[in-house]
Amino acid sequence: MIEAVFKPVLSGYPLSELQELLHPLPRFRVKQIFSWISRGVRSFAEMTDLSQSLRADLGERFSLYASEVAARLKDPDGTEKLQISLRDGCLIEAVLLTDGEERRTACLSTQAGCPQGCVFCKTGALPFRRNLDSAEIVEQFLHLRGAAADGDADANTISNIVIMGMGEPMLNLAELRRAVSVFTASEGFGLSGRRITVSTSGIAAGIRDLADNGPRVRLALSLTTADTALREHLMPVTKSNPLPEVKAALQHYQQCEGRRITLEMVLLGGLNTRREDVDALQAFIRGLDAVINLIPWNPVEGMSFAGRPLREPEPGELAAFMAELEQRGIAFTRRYRKGRTIGGACGQLGGMREPYSLTTRDRVSTSTPSPVTSTSFSRRQPPWTGS
C-alpha cells in the first residue's frame, strides 16, 4: 500500500522553526509569512507583500492548511460547533463559545478520539485514532475565527482558548507546546498565556512537565469526584494516576506558577452529589489554591453506569450540593450550559447533530436551581455497589 505524501503544513510552525524551515529567507520575510498565516489567509497568493515568484515557490513546496471544515452547526444560544476533516480522514470537533459580544472562547481538541474512557464523556466512548499535530490544533482556532467573522468584520476576534475538546492534552504535550507558541507569539496571534487554559483528566507526570517546562498557561483538572473508589470507576485514569500523586503534581504546579487551579466537577445525578463527595473534595483541596467549577452533566444518549442510565442532577439536588459547598466555605462557580442542542457542550463532543428543541426537563434543568429545602442532603450508599 502506497502512503500519501503531503507537503509540510506551515500553519503549525512556531516562528523559530519556520525560520529554520524557510532558510535562507531573511527573518523579516519569515515574520511576514508568519503574520499572514495568523491572519487566516487561505492561499499564498493572498500574501501581497511577497513577490510573485516567492509566493509561487511557497505554493509548490508547502501547504497552508492540513484540514477543512466538513460541517458546521449553530445552537440558538450562539454556540457554534465545527466538524473538521483532517488529511488522513480523521474527524475532530471544535467549539466557539460566546458570552455577549465582548468575549469569545475557542474550545480546541488535541487528539482524534480519546484513550481515557471516562464513562460520562461522549469522546471517551469513541475509538482513539491519534494525536493531533500543531497545525491541526492551530487550524481549529483559524476555522473558528473564520466562523466568528462570518458576515461581520467586527467579530473577527477570539479572546480566550480552552484546551477542553476531544482528547487528553497531557498525552500530546509536545505538539500542544508548539501550538501554544504560535498562539502567543507577538508577531502572530499575540494571545497571552493567561487567556489559555489546559484541562487534564489527571496525568500527574504531564502536570509536572507543564510546570517545569511550560507553556505558561492556566490549568484545570477534571476532578468530578475526590472519592477515590468512585473516581476509579468513573475515570479509569485514576488507577494509574492516584489522586495523592495528582494533588502533589498540582501543588508543584502552583509552586512554579503561583496561579489558581480550576477543579472541574461534572455532576451526575445520584452519583457524585453525596455528602461523602463534599467531604472528599474538602480534604483534596486542603493546601491548594483552587476554585471548583460545577458542571451539571450534559446528556449523551446511551451512556450508563453500573447498569443504570446516567442522568443530570435534579434542580434541588444541585441546589443542595451547592449550599453544602457554600456552608463549608468552598469557593465554586457553576458553568451554565452552552451548545447542548448541537452536542457542543462539555462531554458531548464526538457526534454531529442538527439542533433540537429543549424538552420541558431540559428547560427546568437549565433554570435557576430550586430552593435548598426541596431536597434533603443525606449520606447514601455508593451507587456502584448495587446496594
How many CB atoms are located within 10 Å of the residue 43 CB? 11
At a CB cut-off of 8 Å and minimum separation 6, what does 71 contact? 82, 83, 352
31 and 128 part of one domain: no
pLDDT of residue 316: 95
pLDDT of residue 4: 61
Instruction: Examine residue 8 and say whether the peptide bond preceding it is cis (omega within 30 degrees of 0).
Output: no
**Residue 3 domain-assigned?**
no
Pairing of strands 103-107, 160-163: parallel
Which CATH number characterizes residue 33's domain? 1.10.150
**Residue 370 domain-assigned?**
yes
On the CB side of 239, how many CA atoms lie within 13 Å of its CA? Answer: 8
**Residue 154 domain-assigned?**
yes
218 and 343 part of one domain: yes
Given 93, 139, 312, 314, the catalytic residue: 93
**Residue 169 domain-assigned?**
yes
312 and 249 part of one domain: yes
The total number of structural domains in the chain stands at 2
User: Annotated catalytic, 346?
Assistant: yes
Q: Enter the DSSP assignment of 221.
A: E
56 and 71 part of one domain: no
Quick check: 278 and 324 in contact, CB under 8 A? yes
Q: Enter the DSSP assignment of 337.
A: P
Structural domain range at position 56 = 10-61
Quick check: 268 and 318 in contact, CB under 8 A? no
Gap between the terminal Cα atoms of the chain: 55
**Residue 184 domain-assigned?**
yes
- Distances in Å between the Cα of 213 and the Cα atoms of 69, 151, 328, 341 are 33, 41, 36, 39
284 and 141 part of one domain: yes
Burial of 140 (0-12, 13-18, 19+ CB in 10 A): buried
pLDDT of residue 382: 52
Given 60, 107, 346, 354, the catalytic residue: 346
User: Annotated catalytic, 276?
Assistant: no
**Residue 5 domain-assigned?**
no
**Residue 2 domain-assigned?**
no
How many angstroms separate the CA atoms of 215 and 217, rounded? 6
Alpha helices, DSSP H, located in the chain: 15-21, 27-38, 52-61, 134-148, 173-184, 204-213, 228-234, 237-240, 243-257, 275-285, 315-327, 360-365
pLDDT of residue 343: 66
pLDDT of residue 53: 97
Q: Does the predicted TM-score (pTM) go above 0.85? A: yes
184 and 42 part of one domain: no
173 and 220 part of one domain: yes
Which one, of 277, 206, 291, 208, lies nearest residue 248 by Cα? 208
Q: Which of 45, 61, 77 is the last residue of a domain?
A: 61
CA 90 from centre of chain: 18
Per-residue buried b or exposed e for 302-330, using 16+ beta carbons within 10 Å of the residue's own CB = ebebeeeebbbbbbbbbbbbbbbbeeeeb
57 and 175 part of one domain: no
Which CATH number characterizes residue 118's domain? 3.20.20.70
175 and 43 part of one domain: no
Output the nine-digit C-alpha cell for 251: 501543588
Q: Which of 61, 86, 103 is the last residue of a domain?
A: 61
36 and 163 part of one domain: no
Q: Which helix (H) or strand (E) holds 30?
A: helix 27-38
| pLDDT tens per residue across all 387 residues of the chain | 445 678 999 999 999 999 999 999 999 999 999 999 999 999 999 999 999 999 999 999 999 999 999 999 988 888 899 999 999 999 999 999 987 666 899 999 999 999 999 999 988 888 999 999 999 999 999 999 999 887 554 455 899 999 999 999 999 999 999 999 999 999 999 999 999 999 999 999 999 999 999 999 999 999 999 999 999 999 999 999 999 999 999 999 999 999 999 999 999 999 999 999 999 999 999 999 999 999 999 888 888 998 999 999 999 999 999 999 999 999 999 977 666 666 666 777 887 655 543 333 333 233 333 333 334 454 445 554 543
**Residue 362 domain-assigned?**
yes
110 and 245 part of one domain: yes
Alpha helices, DSSP H, located in 200-359: 204-213, 228-234, 237-240, 243-257, 275-285, 315-327
Q: Which of 61, 79, 104 is the last residue of a domain?
A: 61
25 and 152 part of one domain: no
Output the nine-digit C-alpha cell for 127: 475509538
